[in-house]
Amino acid sequence: MRKHHIGFTVTAVLTIAVAACGPTSSTPSTSATAHFPVTITGTNGASVTINKQPHRIVSLSATATEMLFAIDAGSQVVAVDDQSNYPANAPMTKLSGFQPNIEAIASYTPDLVVAVDDTAGLVHGLGALNIPVLIETAAKNFEESYKQIDQLGAATGRVADATALEKKMRSDLAAVVASIPKSTRQLKVYHELDDTYYSATSATFIGQVYALLGLENIADGAKASAGDYPQLSAEYIVSSSPDVIVLADTKCCHQNLSTVAARPGWSSIAAVKAGQVIGVDDDIASRWGPRILDFLRALAPHVKQLGQQAA
Amino acid sequence: MQILARFSRPPRAAPVAALQGLPRLPWLWAAAGAVVLLGAMVLGVLVGPAHIGLGTVLQALVAPSAVDPAQASILWSLRIPRVVLGVIVGAMLATAGAAYQGAFRNPLADPYLLGAAAGANLGATLAIAFAPGSSLIGVNVVPLAGFIGAAAAVAGAYALGRTVTGLRNTTGLILAGVAIAAFFNAIQTYIQQSQTNSVRQIYSWILGRLVTAGWEGVLLVLPYVVLSVAVILLHRRLLDALSIGDEEVTSLGISARRVRLIVVIAATLGTAAVVAIAGTIAFVGIIVPHTVRLLVGRSYRVVIPLSLLFGAAFLVLADTAARMVAAPAELPIGVITALVGAPFFIVVMRSTRAAAL
């Protein structure tokens, strides 16, 4: 109830701010300053109040970093964690989001910290130093991702940019989805996270992307007890014979069409026979930020081609 | 704490009677072991997440060309090599466990006692973190690094134990192994933490890779395992003598130190090879030899060959469960071996009143 209520408040504040701000403004305007203080309920359900527009943001989340730069709040970011490798001009440091060190973070004198999880007493520790922490957990679908962009917009006084980004993502997504003809045959996809066959079900963000493209995810065959990221049996993958294999382990494990084709028994898979083994950037496929559209655009031609072949 | 528990029970010489008396029905148990192993293998080949009918399986075994090539390839390239690898890994771990227990006269000794697992994990972690995807003479560098790491850890423990206590007793050696394992684990954890990109890969390597095994894996470990098991089998009578005391062995004109060294090297070689391909699979090396002891008595002449049979059968069954329980998802095989193995062992122990321990 409470969460819902605050979410509504943020929306209301956003609407007002959008109206006040007008279209894109790259420098924080007076209306953006007037927008503070703002209270935001992070995706973990905890609310955080930001008193004035932050200019020393520390991001411990690679996705949040991408979102912050995409909504033009990059100039307000002073440090990002060791996983935030995009965009290239993000001020990458040795800070860790997995094992956050409160002192190391505090040494940047941040006025806002964004993280994926409240690990190692992050919120409590920084709270003692009066540093607000906004938690944006892994999104499970596009709506949650848009919500995080909006929240980061509200938190940084970049409401208009956030709204514009969300709008662009929505229209780009719709365009990609519309470009794919309805296939007569249900196409199957196998998404590979590493070379021991860990995969992702439709309950995950990346799984939602496949659902949008009308693909059947073979990882959904796994029981719920196996979790959202089950390790699949090789013989199940081979016998499912997916039409598309997406390799999100090109960086970690150097996988590609030829390494996949060389695996015992895998040469009989439809995707391997047809060469529909798509290598993608591990990072893009594991984040829920704006670059997911690059992923979609890389995937769409393959799905289109397969759909036309089936028709 | 667990490690300290190893020393709470002082090494105890076996009552001579236990050795002089004939083991209880060894041939009957050997036949039972062979039947169980065969049954496990048949079950392992018949069931899997890919639904292949009984008739098709039988046909694929006799005349693979007459079956749908996709199904034949699932059977011959994936399921059968995995069952074969299960046999090899289980046999090796159980045999090595029995050998270590004999060599150290310590019922809690297992194949990882001298740091084989810690060494293998460190080697593999280094390879995954700093040389991802590279290979040496056509062999993936990761299992190679795991093998070298395991061998290096045990060699280090042996050298350390020797300089400290001169190997007069095994306690110094075991302590050296514990220290080496702790040291290697610390380095491994540090690298894993600092290389967050490869955490998942390192984790899944440690949990075991029977999932991706094919004939290549079988061929990779087979020579080491055959050599290791042969040497241990040849020394099983000397392990019986060793279980009475070093003096007994020496009185036979054989150096107890030498026997111990040969057995430990052989068991380590096989364990390292197996860990390099299958990851650290816990408990098999402890539970299987002890179950066999409870069933047939303590003589290594019988315990070692029977551990080999039952170890192989146990691991094939555990691996079948690993791929069937949450099918089509996999469970880590180490979870099955411990979850099923530990209660089973307790039941056996209770029902036999632990006389042979």
> What pLDDT is attached to residue B94?
94
- Quick check: B201 and A253 in contact, CB under 8 A? yes
- Where residue B138 falls among pLDDT bands split at 50, 70, 90? low
Residue B17 has pLDDT above 50, yes or no: no
Residue of A nearest to B320 (CA): A233
Q: What element of type H or E holds B139?
A: strand B139-140
- Report the complex ipTM: 0.74
Reply yes or no on whether the pLDDT at B327 is more than 50: yes
The CA distance from B210 to B83, in Å, is: 9
Q: Is the pLDDT of residue B5 over 70?
A: no
pLDDT digit string (tens) for A95-118? 888 888 888 999 999 999 999 988
Pairing label, strands A77-80, A244-247 = unpaired
Please write the tens of the pLDDT for every residue from A167-194.
Answer: 999 999 999 988 888 777 789 999 999 8
Q: Residue A4: its pLDDT value, please?
A: 46
Bigger pLDDT: B92 vs B24 = B92
A46: CB partners within 8 A, 6+ apart = A118, A123, A135
Whose tokens are 């690993």? That residue is B322
- Note the pLDDT tens digit of each residue in B48-70: 888 887 888 888 778 777 778 77
> Which of A228, A231, A247, A255 to mutate to probe the B interface, most B CBs <10 Å?
A231
**B183 at A interface, C-beta within 8 A:** no
pLDDT at A149: 95
Query: What integer pLDDT is reported at residue B165 of this predicted model?
Result: 65
CA distance B161 to B158: 5
- Any A CB within 8 A of B204 CB: yes
Cβ pair B200:A193 closer than 8 A: yes
Three-class HEC string of B197-259: HHHHHHHHHHHCCHHHCCHHHHHHHHHHHHHHHHHHHHCHHHHHHHHHCHHHHHHCCCCHHHH
CB contact under 8 A, A235 and B209: no
List CB contacts of A1: < 8 A, sequence separation 6 or more: none
Q: Nearest Cβ partner of A222 from B77, B78, B326?
A: B326
d(CA B172, CA B151) in angstroms, rounded, equals 19
User: Can you give the pLDDT at residue A34?
Assistant: 64
A195 touches chain B (CB under 8 A): yes
Cβ contacts of B201 on chain A, cutoff 8 Å = 194-196, 252-253
DSSP-assigned states of every residue in chain A = -HHHHHHHHHHHHHHHHHHHH-S--SSPPHHHHHT-SEEEE-TTS-EEEE-S--SSEEE--HHHHHHHHHTT-GGGEEEE-TT---STTS-B-S--SSS--HHHHHTT--SEEEESS--TTHHHHHHTTT--EEE-PPPSSHHHHHHHHHHHHHHHT-HHHHHHHHHHHHHHHHHHHHHSPPPSS--EEEEESSTT-B---TTSHHHHHHHHTTPEEGGGGS-GGG-SSPBBPHHHHHHH--SEEEES-TTTS---HHHHHTSTTGGGSHHHHTT-EEE--HHHHH--STTHHHHHHHHHHHHHHHHHHH-
> 87-126 in A: which are within 8 Å (CB) of B?
96, 98-99
pLDDT value of position A188:
94
Phi-psi region of A84 (alpha: psi -120 to 50; beta: other; left: phi over 0): beta
Cα–chain center distance at B42: 22
What does DSSP say about strands B135-136 and B139-140: parallel, antiparallel, or unpaired?
A: antiparallel
Contacts of A268 in chain B (CB under 8 A): 69-70, 73
Q: H/E element holding B136?
A: strand B135-136
Section A26-43 average pLDDT: 68
Average pLDDT, chain A: 85
Cα–Cα dist B233/B58, whole Å? 34
CB atoms within 10 A of CB A212: 16
Poorest-confidence range of A56-65, A128-137, B86-95, B134-143?
B134-143
For A241, nearest residue in chain B (alpha carbons)? B70
The β-bridge relationship of strands A277-279 and A188-192 is unpaired
pLDDT band at B1 (very low <50, low <70, confident <90, very high): very low
Residue A190, pLDDT score: 96
Q: Is A235 on the interface with B (CB under 8 A)?
A: yes
Q: Rounded distance, CA A283 to CA A299, Å?
A: 15
B274 close to B88: Cβ distance less than 8 angstroms: yes
At A36, is the pLDDT very low, low, confident or very high (cuts 50, 70, 90)?
Answer: confident
- B53 to chain A, any CB pair closer than 8 A? The answer is no
Amino acid at A12: A
Give the amino acid at A192.
Answer: E
CB-side neighbour CA atoms (13 Å) of A194: 20
Distance of CA B257 to the CA centre of its chain: 23
What distance in Å separates residue A42's CA from the closest CA in chain B? 25
d(CA B167, CA B160): 10
- C-alpha distance from residue B45 to each of A17, A89, B42, B49, B52 (Å): 65, 54, 5, 11, 10
Q: Which residues of A touch B327 (CB under 8 A)?
A: 223, 233, 236
Task: Enumerate residues 6+ apart whose C-beta is below 8 A from A200.
Answer: A191, A193, A206, A207, A217, A219, A228, A229
Question: Structure pTM?
Answer: 0.79
Average pLDDT, chain B: 81
**Residue A251 burial by Cβ neighbours in a 10 Å radius (0-12, 13-18, 19+):** middle
Does the pLDDT value for residue A6 go beyond 50?
A: no
Min Cα–Cα distance to chain A from B74, Å? 6
Cβ(A175)–Cβ(A168) below 8 Å: no
For residues B4 and B170, the model is more confident at B170
Task: Quote the longest CA-to-CA distance of chain B.
Answer: 64
**Contacts for A108 with CB less than 8 Å, ≥ 6 apart:** A56, A58, A78, A79, A93
Given this model, what pLDDT does residue A64 score? 94
Nearest CA distance, B129 vs chain A (angstrom) = 9
What pLDDT, on a 0 to 100 scale, did the predictor assign at position B24? Answer: 64
Q: Is the bond leading into B332 cis (omega within 30 degrees of zero)?
A: no
Instruction: Report which of residues A73 and B356 the model is more confident about.
Output: A73
- Reported confidence tier of residue A156, pLDDT bands at 50, 70, 90: very high
In three-state secondary structure terms, B7 is helix
Band (pLDDT 50/70/90 cuts) for residue A238 is: very high
Contact (CB, 8 A) for B116 and B271: yes
In 3D, which of A219, A216, A213, A237 has the Cα closest to residue A301? A213
**Partner B contacted by A223 (CB < 8 A):** yes
pLDDT on residue A216: 93
User: Which residues fall within 8 angstroms of residue A168, CB to CB, at 6 or more apart?
Assistant: none
pLDDT of residue B6: 41
At A116 the pLDDT is 92
CB pairs A-B closer than 8 Å: 112
Yes or no, beta carbons of B212 and A263 under 8 Å apart: yes
Tell me what pLDDT residue A31 has.
53
List pLDDT tens digits, range B171-224.
Answer: 788 888 889 999 999 999 888 887 777 777 787 777 766 777 788 888 888 999
Secondary structure letter of residue B329 according to DSSP: B
Average pLDDT over residues A152-162: 92
